[in-house]
Amino acid sequence: MFKYDLIVVGSGHAGCEAVLSAAKLGLKCLLMTLNLDNIALMPCNPAVGGPAKSCLVREIDALGGVMGIVADATYIQMKMLNSSKGPAVRALRAQSDKKEYMRFMRNLIELNDNISLKQAMAVELIVENDSVKGIVDEFGLEYHAPCVILTTGTSLEGKCYVGLQSVSAGRMGERAATGLSSSLLKNGLTLKRLKTGTPARVDSRTIDYSKMSVQPGDEELHFFSFEPDRPVRKQYPCYLTRTTEKTHEIIKSNLDKSPLYAGLIHGIGPRYCPSIEDKVVRFAHNPSHHIFIEPEGKDTYEIYVQGFSTSLPAQVQIQMLHSLPGLENVHIIKPAYAVEYDAVPALQLTHSLMTKKIKGLFCAGQINGTSGYEEAAAQGLVAGINAYNYLNNSEMLELSRSNSYIGTLIDDLVTKDIQEPYRMLTSRSEYRLLLRQDNADERLTPIGHKMGLISDERYNRFLEKQRKIEKETERLKSVKVPPSEEVNNILAQYNENIDKGMKLAELVKRPNIDYKVLKEIDKETAQLNLSPEIYEEAEIKIKYDGYIKRQNRQVETLDKLEKIKIPADLDYDRLDHISTETKEKLAKVRPATLAQASRIGGVKPADISVLMVMLGR
């Protein structure tokens, strides 16, 4: 018999964060996966970050996770998106070296003595008295542990489609996980089918880049991790092309060969990452769509065709790709495909990511109905921490909507009956000005330190950084500049001027003025030579002070509802003055607080008022 504290099934981004966090906290862990050569594989785009997702990565790092560290160590391009817009929507994105990323992550895992690796398929849960006790693998071997985290990605009963042809696989070239779905159903959980897909990979040597727009990385580098001494690496360009009228004609004339449109795929696909045929049909008014040409690594000629996901037949894919400017003679290395798989509707989980029916069983990543590496990693980290908390009878880590995008992600999953794969977007957070990528450490590093994932040394560095930000913020509020000719000559370059003495803080609130302008007009500001991470956050705190205060007042209102707990065994059928439909929704989700109840689709403010009165009694 094999005994562990924790078994993690699956070694994608959720599994890696789960097992590393739990092992770092002291649990003896088994990481079981279908293929040990695919640990931390990026089966779709080899990139980390982007809108909203960059916040998730920085929050993972602030809590003590590893995705940001690995992304910083293996990037081949770094780019700050939306840099000319407000701080709430700025987003760091890294194009990663696919193989390097996997090697770096596997090395972190193999260096941890608390982690054992196993290549095998988990086919059955061992459950006794509604508590998980371990798993059984495909060879009949039993592995016992009082805690199990399922991070199976797209593997559960996975089926890959290229045109009307299909093969049993979680990803093309890797077998599907069979048996575990039946075990989940047998133990009272429900499942649903979801669908996702990935574009073709093509040969860089057969691309005419002269017909495309070059997309370089940033000269001024930013990083995901708050750790110091991050590597400065050579950057490689991406390129931009577009679909043509001919592309759209080819797609429209071959829709009958799509497994989705032919009715072979019943799973619901991701709304915010549709296939190219979906885009052409749903956005018929759009004559063209952006297609990004992105390298998979610095030592390979394999290229990822972003924005060109499809499940059409291979011969049709060739015609489609050859209709794109620059790809007229391109050679396809791997065809695009769609994959359909089983997922666990996350309404069956608590905010800790433990299932409500089976104690000690956690789910994280795409099995919960999400899409994206960052969403998976964030869930894996929370599940790993809470596996430790569960085994030690400690309070579960349940992040809130007001302190993190991770909290928003998990709350959406366990509260809303989401039908399609969930992708994190800035618009999903009502507090996005508070939840910026620059202040993720301010929000979450104290929690990571308390949990034991952030070292004292790193925590002291964090405290020193916060002290410097506060000191600079106060200095900007106290230093005044005169309306001299020299000052106004500089300000005139930015269509600004002053006719009386003005505090630097008042000046930086103007839309055309940033901290770099303050350096030009104030010698002391220039001589301080502060790092960007200090002065940028000080500037944001001052420039957006009014908006930040307004959102903080909204948080205070929400916190009042969060503090009103709803008994787990409340019989909603016995409530008066609430519709039957609302009672069914409440009983299905079983919200833990009045605030969570208010976020359930279809639950009205009047229903919350009735609940508040009842709970008051």
As averages over each run of 10 residues, the pLDDT of the chain (617 residues) reads: 94 98 98 97 95 97 98 97 86 97 98 98 97 97 98 96 92 93 98 94 98 95 93 96 96 88 73 82 89 96 95 95 97 95 96 97 97 97 98 96 96 91 91 92 98 97 97 94 90 90 92 90 89 92 90 85 85 82 86 87 81 77
- CATH of region 563-616: 1.10.150.570
Task: In whole angstroms, give the CA distance from residue 49 to residue 58.
Answer: 9
Residue given tokens 């391009």 in the structure block: 77
- For β-strands 115-119 and 302-306, DSSP reports them as unpaired
Q: Cβ distance 477 to 542 under 8 Å? A: yes
Q: Cβ distance 158 to 171 under 8 Å? A: yes
563-616: same fold as 2-194+341-451?
no
- What CA–CA distances, in Å, run from 27 to 113, 146, 393, 426, 492? 10, 11, 14, 35, 61
A 10 A CB-CB count for 10 gives: 30
- CATH of region 2-194+341-451: 3.50.50.60
pLDDT in the model for residue 612: 81
Architecture of domain 467-548: Orthogonal Bundle (1.10)
Domain 201-338, CATH number (from 2.60.120.10, 3.40.720.10, 2.40.30.260, 3.40.50.460): 2.40.30.260
Identity of the amino acid at 562: E
Q: Which two tokens stand for residue 581?
A: 């439909």
Task: In whole angstroms, give the CA distance from residue 101 to residue 530.
Answer: 32
In 3D, which of 38, 335, 42 has the Cα closest to residue 201? 335
What does the angle CA 153 – CA 136 – CA 123 come to, to the nearest 5 degrees? 40
The domains of the chain are located at: 2-194+341-451, 201-338, 467-548, 563-616
Q: Cβ distance 513 to 496 under 8 Å? A: yes
The torsion angle over the Cα atoms of residues 103, 155, 49 and 66, rounded to 10 degrees, is -50
Residue given tokens 């560095």 in the structure block: 461
Q: What are phi and psi of 293, to 5 degrees?
A: -105, 110
A 10 A CB-CB count for 219 gives: 7
Element (H, E) at 215: strand 213-215
CA gyration radius, the chain: 26
- For β-strands 142-144 and 165-168, DSSP reports them as unpaired
- What CA–CA distances, in Å, run from 555 to 398, 520, 542? 16, 38, 20
pLDDT in the model for residue 617: 66
Maximum C-alpha span of the chain = 84
Identity of the amino acid at 315: Q
Residue partners of 259: CB distance under 8 A and separation at least 6: 161, 163, 164, 166, 265, 311, 338
* Backbone φ/ψ region at 240: left (φ over 0), alpha (ψ -120 to 50), beta: beta
What does the angle CA 555 – CA 561 – CA 567 come to, to the nearest 5 degrees? 145
A 10 A CB-CB count for 106 gives: 18
- Name the 3-class secondary structure at 593: strand
pLDDT in the model for residue 444: 98
